[in-house]
Amino acid sequence: MATITKDMTFHEVMSKSPEVVKVLGSFNLGCVGCMGAQHETLEQGATAHGLDVEDLLTALNAIFD
C-alpha cells in the first residue's frame, strides 16, 4: 500500500519526511510557505498546477521505498 495518497493534504505529507519538500520543489510546488497546504489535497494541488497527480505520487512514494 502506498504511504502517500492523493487525498492527503500537503501539510500531512510534508510532516512525513524532509525529503518530501525536495520532491515537491522538483515539481515547482512551493508548498512550505503556502497557506493552502494546510487544507489542499495532493490531487487538488496537482490539478491546480496542471500536474499529473500519479506522477507526483510516484515520486513522493519513492522516498519511502
pLDDT band per the 50, 70, 90 thresholds, residue 1: low
Cα(29)–Cα(21) distance, integer angstroms: 9
Does residue 30 form part of some domain? yes
Does residue 45 form part of some domain? yes
Cα(31)–Cα(34) distance, integer angstroms: 5
Does residue 58 form part of some domain? yes
Residue 3 DSSP symbol: S
Residue 9 β-bridge partners: 41
Residue 50 pLDDT more than 70? Answer: yes
pLDDT in tens, 13-40: 999 999 999 999 999 887 767 777 788 9
CATH of the domain at 45: 1.10.3910.10
Does residue 3 form part of some domain? no
Mean pLDDT of 48-58: 96
Owning domain of residue 58: 10-62
Tally of structural domains, the chain: 1
Q: What is the reported pLDDT for 65?
A: 85
The values of phi and psi at residue 40, to 5°, are: -80, 135
Q: Are 65 and 51 in contact (CB under 8 A)?
A: no
Does residue 24 form part of some domain? yes
The pTM for the full model equals 0.89
Does residue 5 form part of some domain? no
